[in-house]
Structure 1
Amino acid sequence: MSEGQGNPRKPTIRTVAELAGVSLKTVSRVINNEPSVLASTRARVLQAIADLDYEPDPSARNLRSASAYVIGLVYDNPNPYHIIGIQNGVLSACRETGFGLQIHPCDATSPLLAEELAELVQRSRLAGLVLTAPMSERVDLLQALAARGIRTTRIIAAAEDPGEGPPCVFVDDRDAAYEITEHLVQLGHQRIGFLWGGEDHRSSTERYLGYEQALKDYGITLDKHLVIPGDYTFDDGFRGARRLLALREPPTAIFGSNDEIAAGVLAAAKSAGMNVPYDLSIAGFEDSPFSRQSWPALTTAKQATEDIARHAARMLIAGLRHDGEGAAAVPNHGFVPQLVVRGSTAPVRPRAQAQGDTA
C-alpha cells in the first residue's frame, strides 16, 4: 500500500502547481482572479483545480494576499432559529464567491462595540461586515465604523428603502403585520392581543405599527391593556399570554411578534384548558420551525431569512469587488414576508356559544 492510501491528504496549492506545471505564484494569481495570467495558463490551472477537487483556504489566502477574502457576520439575537437561518444564508453566499466567514456574537448595547468590531476586523483581516439587528439600526455604530473605513451591509426592518447610510437589505415587517392583523379581523376578532418582541429591535416596532394601523383602518379602538411588552422568547410569550387571558375581558386572538412568542402563547392556552383555535386564535411571525412543529401549526408571516441574509452578503462582496463603488453599483433590496394561514386561527365564536360548549 502506498503512503497515504486509505487516508488521502487534502490537495494543496503546491499539488495544483505541480499538476499544472506552473509556479505557486501563478496558481495564486488564478485563484485571486488577477488579470495578468495567459488564458491558456489560466485554463490549465483551473483544470488542475477541478481534477484535484482543490478548495482554497480563505484564511490562508488572506495572509498571503494584499486583499481580504473573509467577511464577518455580527449578531445579537435571542432567537436561535433566526440566527441559524442568517448564518446559513451568509455562508452560502461566501461559498458561491470563494470568501470565508467569521461569525461574531456580541452585546448590541455595549458602549465599546465600535472598538470591539474594529479590533475584530483588524485582527482577522476582514474585508467587511454583515450587520444584523439591532446593531444594523444603531446610527452611532454605523457612523463609527464608517469613520474607521470598515465596509458594512445591513439587514434592517423598514417599510421602504431608507435611501441613506450603508447598503442594506430592508424587510417590510409592517406590511406583513398589517396582513396578519387584517386576517384576524376578517375572521371576526375585535379583541386582538399583541405581544412585543425586544424594543431595541426595529422589527418589533414595525410589527406593532402594522397591527395598530390595521385596527385603525377597520375601525377597532386600540385597547392598551391588550398590548404587552416583552422579548423574542418562548417564556415571554407564555407569560404575556397568561396576563392577557387573566383580563376580565380577554382577547379572542393573540398576535405574537415572532413564532417563538406565539408558541409560548399556545402553551399558555393549552395549560388553561383552551381549545386552539376555537377558544383562542394565535398568530406568529417569521415561519420558523416553531410555527410548523406546533400543534396546531401556527398562522404566521413567511420571512425568507436565508434569502435575506444571502442577498446581504452578496451585496457586501459585490461592493468590495467594485473597489469602493459598491453603494452605487448594488442598489438596496427589499423583502416582504408573506401571510401563511394554518390551523391556529379560526373565525371567532360568540362568547355565549363558547360558554355553552364548556358548560
Structure 2
Amino acid sequence: MKTLFLFLFFCHGSSPVKHSLKYFVTASSGVPNFPEFVGAAVVDGHLAASCDSSRKILEPKQEWMKTLFENEPLHLDWYNAECFETQPILFKATMYSLKQRFNQSGGVHVFQRMSGCEWDDETGEVQGFNQYGYDGEDFMSLDLKTETWIAPKPQAVTIKLRWDAEKTRTKMFLTQTFPEWLNKYLAFGKSSLQRTELPSVSLLQKTPSSPVSCHASGFYPDRASLIWRKDGEELHEGVDLGETLPNHDGTFQMSADLKPSASEDWGKYECVFHLSGVKDVVTRLDKAAIRTNWETEKPGDVTILLTATAVVLPLILIIAAAGFIVYKMKKVKPRPSPAADSSELSESLNPET
C-alpha cells in the first residue's frame, strides 16, 4: 500500500478469474484543494460510488449502483453512515493521534485504509484484506489466518495490541459480508461488469528485421492474457509483453512481440489470446498475414517498369527534339528582301527618325 493518494489505487491489473470489491478511505491534512476525507467503492477496478467531506454527497458512479441504491435503501443507509458519520470521525481522530505519535505538528500527511475481498469465480476461494498506510508507507495490516494485526512501525505497536484484544467483527465483514455484496454487485452490473468482448487480432511488423507483434484490440474485460507458443508450448524467451491499455470506447488493447526466427520455423508459432470463460483466439504466424509498412519488390513489377520505360522514352526524345527545332526556328529573324525600297532602309537606319 505504498501510495500517497487514493486515486493511485485505481488500476486494472488482476488475475483472469478473480473479482474484487475494494473500499478506499483517505484522510489528509495540509493538502491544498483536497478534501480532508474521501471514500470510494471499487468493483473489478471500476469506481462504483464515492463521497468526500467537501461535497458531502454520496455519488453512484455506475447506473447499476444507482439502481441498487434505489432498490435497497438499507444498503444505501450503510454507505451514508460510513461516508458522513462513522469513518470521518474515526479517521480524523486517528490522524490527530498519529501526528502526535510521530511528533509532527504541520506539513502534509495522509492516512489511508484499503479493505475488501477477492473472489475466485472458478475455485470459490475468498481472500479478505484490511490494510492501513500512513504518509505513503505501510502502517498496519490484518492477518486473517491468525486474526492478529501486523505492525511494521514502532508507532503502531500500541494500536496493534489494543486491536488484537478487541476482536471486532472485521473478519466477518471481510470473509462473509463483503463477498456477498460483491456477488450482489456483479449481478446488478452484469451487463457491464460481466460482459465479454473478443478482440480483433493482427500480426504487425515494421521492417523485415523487426519483431513480429501480435496486437489484440477491442476486448473486454481487461483480465486477459496474450502469449506466443511454439509447437504448443508457451514461449518466454524472445517474447516481449506489452501493457494492457484502454481504448476510447471502454475496451482494451495489448500486444506481445516475438523476435524474428528462421523462416522455415514460422509455421510452428502461434499467438494465443486468452479470456476466462470464452474460447481462446489463436492466430498462426503466417508471412502472408503480416501487415507491414514496407514493400518487397517483385520481379514482375521490375519487368513492367522496364517495358514501360522502353516504350515511353523514345516518345519523350522525339517530342523533345521537335520542340527544340521549333524553338530554334522562332529565334531566327527573317532577312530584308532585295527588292525592298532603299528609302525605307535608309529611313530605318537614320538615328533622327
User: Normalising to structure 2: TM-score of the pair?
Assistant: 0.23
